[in-house]
Structure 1
Amino acid sequence: MALFAPYCGGRSREQDLLRVLAYWSGGEVRGVRSLMEASPHRFDLRWQPVRAPLESTACILNIEAEPPLAYRFSVPAHQLMVWLMESGDRSDRLELPDRFWQWLLLEAGAEDL
């Protein structure tokens, strides 16, 4: 935790950081993306766990849609950690923050499955 804390809000976000660190090494979460005027999309986010916050972590996001979408991207580990911290504490219905989805649309491209 000591390595990530300075990049992830310090002591004020300690509980959120501990929550994410509990599943970080598993390298996977499942969640739902709520949409305003459409049914929600389920997703599966996988990443390569790393030990240092500035290391790049490779990620794959699979979205259950018609047609299915897959995004491959790499980000500094601390950035992914912050997005996961901002997604709330409901592990049964994880919802990544809007700024993650905005970044994804602007920075990463979808792959054909």
Structure 2
Amino acid sequence: MDLKDQLKNLFPEHEVPETPLEEKSNVWMQDDPLECRFEKRKGKVNTIIAGYTGATADFKILAKELKTNLGVGGSFKNDQIIIQGDYRDRIMELLKEKGFKVKRVGG
């Protein structure tokens, strides 16, 4: 007997709506494009995303989503998302799917 069956036994009159949960990202969209650039720091390759004009908390949420989708490490410093490795193409695709305008800076 799983948890749903136990709850039905305890509350027989309660009806559970069968609506699927939708993923909603409450990240603020902006008119200006985000800058996605390639940079080497201490001999390591990094992808840097800058130019977000919304709230810092929203940018941190976006950073976490990008890192989990790519399966890589990174950080958020000085209003920039720093992703370990050269993932410019994949990051630009993910941001465009979310509705952002992205500008590739450099090479």
**Bigger proportion of residues as strand:** 1
Tell whether the structures are fold-level matches, with TM greater than 0.5.
no
| TM-score, reference length from structure 1 | 0.26
| TM-score, reference length from structure 2 | 0.27
Q: Which has the larger radius of gyration?
A: 2
